[in-house]
């Protein structure tokens, strides 16, 4: 009897999951948004009070560090965000959403005066074509051959940066410096913020929940950014909350 109940429960769970997936991916979740956006990072914006992640591409996080053409460290994640802000230049975006991601952000494609913003990010070297899609891979080839953006030096693919370890592969359009592993994977890499504006500390609690602390909050000074792989610097509360972080209670 217990086995029959387990089967029934499992079937109900499967039906619920299928129904949830259908809701998330259905046309009902699709929407059109328009206006000048607030740009949070290289592939996340806020438009009409909706947080949206540009689909089909992956830009570096704002805490990501890369190497330039001379092998020097630079804040490429902040640069990717700033280049998108500069390209946007206060103009109106037209976005089409097609679902949501694991953080509750809408996913979609955006256009500025008919130009595909997602494609522009990859073509300009500030993002890579998404790991699970090849929609923009041709633009990635164009960017690498032009040594544009991230491709001007050496870097870690954004999806690898988020779970990097000593064995993480470092890529580049020409060559990777011999000390790239030490520079980009050293334990002390993020002891200092990548930019003077990125002073928010994100850390994992005992339950694996993402918590962020603002300067001045109790516990902020005690967080050592070199200790845990899940810790990172964040540039704004809007960015933190759009990427799954919750503010510390005190």
**CA of 179: how far to CAs of 5, 154, 193, 214, in Å?**
59, 11, 21, 33
pLDDT above 90 coverage of the chain, percent: 70
Same domain, 93 and 210: no
Answer positive or negative: Cα dihedral of 240, 243, 245, 246.
Answer: positive
Q: For residue 241, what pLDDT is reported? A: 94
What number is the average pLDDT over the span 211-232? Answer: 90
Last residue of a domain, one of 161, 186, 211: 186
Same domain, 231 and 174: no
Q: For residue 230, what pLDDT is reported? A: 79
Last residue of a domain, one of 186, 209, 231: 186
Same domain, 158 and 194: no
Same domain, 113 and 215: no
3-state secondary structure of 198: coil
Q: Token pair for residue 192?
A: 């200092």
Label residue 13 exposed, middle or buried (CB < 10 Å: 0-12, 13-18, 19+). Answer: exposed
End-to-end CA distance of the chain: 50
- Domain-located, residue 17: no
Same domain, 51 and 76: yes
Q: For residue 83, what pLDDT is reported? A: 98
Q: For residue 2, what pLDDT is reported? A: 44
- Picking from 70, 75, 79, 74, the residue whose alpha carbon sits closest to that of residue 175 is 70
Find the domain containing 102 and state its range.
Answer: 29-186
Over the chain, what is the mean pLDDT?
87
Angle among Cα 105, 107, 110 to the nearest 5 degrees reads 120
Same domain, 78 and 161: yes
Q: For residue 29, what pLDDT is reported? A: 56
Count of H helices and E strands in the chain?
7, 17
Same domain, 221 and 107: no
pLDDT for 67 beyond 70: yes
Q: Could you report the per-residue pLDDT of 82-123, keeping only the tens digit for each?
A: 999 999 999 999 999 999 999 899 999 999 999 999 999 999
Q: For residue 156, what pLDDT is reported? A: 96
Q: For residue 130, what pLDDT is reported? A: 92
Output the domain CATH number for residue 156. Answer: 2.40.50.90
CA separation for the pair 221, 225 (Å, rounded):
10
Same domain, 119 and 205: no
Same domain, 181 and 194: no
Number of domains making up the chain: 2
Same domain, 172 and 198: no
3-state secondary structure of 103: coil
**Could you give the count of Cα atoms lying within 13 Å of 8 in the half-sphere of its Cβ?**
5
CA separation for the pair 8, 88 (Å, rounded):
53
Beta bridge partners of 212: 202, 247
Other CB atoms within 10 A of residue 239 CB: 23
- Do 74 and 155 contact (CB within 8 A), yes or no? no
How would you classify the pairing of strands 44-47 and 50-54? antiparallel
Q: Could you report the per-residue pLDDT of 1-34, keeping only the tens digit for each?
A: 444 443 333 434 443 433 343 334 444 457 899 9
What number is the average pLDDT over the span 155-170? Answer: 93
Same domain, 149 and 229: no
């Amino acid at each position: 009897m217990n086995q029959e109940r387990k089967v029934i429960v499992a079937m109900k769970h499967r039906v619920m999951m299928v129904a949830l997936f259908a809701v998330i991916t259905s046309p009902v979740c699709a929407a059109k948004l328009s206006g000048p956006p607030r740009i949070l990072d290289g592939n996340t914006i806020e438009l009409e009070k909706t947080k949206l992640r540009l689909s089909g591409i992956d830009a570096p996080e704002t805490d990501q560090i890369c190497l330039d053409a001379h092998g020097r460290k630079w804040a490429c994640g902040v640069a990717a965000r700033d280049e998108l802000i500069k390209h946007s230049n206060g103009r109106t975006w037209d976005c089409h959403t097609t679902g949501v991601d694991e953080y509750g952000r809408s996913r979609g494609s955006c256009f500025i005066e008919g130009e595909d913003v997602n494609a522009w990010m990859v073509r300009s070297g500030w993002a890579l074509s998404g790991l699970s899609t090849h929609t923009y891979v041709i633009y990635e080839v164009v960017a690498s051959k032009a040594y544009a953006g991230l491709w001007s030096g050496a870097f870690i693919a954004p999806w690898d940066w988020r779970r990097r370890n000593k064995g993480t592969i470092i890529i580049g359009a020409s060559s990777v410096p011999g000390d790239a592993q030490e520079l980009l994977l050293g334990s002390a890499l993020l002891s200092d913020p990548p930019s003077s504006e990125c002073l928010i500390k994100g850390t994992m609690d005992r339950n694996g929940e993402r918590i962020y602390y603002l300067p001045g909050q109790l516990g902020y000074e005690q967080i050592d950014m070199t200790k845990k792989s899940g810790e990172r610097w964040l540039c704004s509360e809007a960015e933190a909350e759009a990427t799954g972080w919750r503010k510390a209670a005190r």
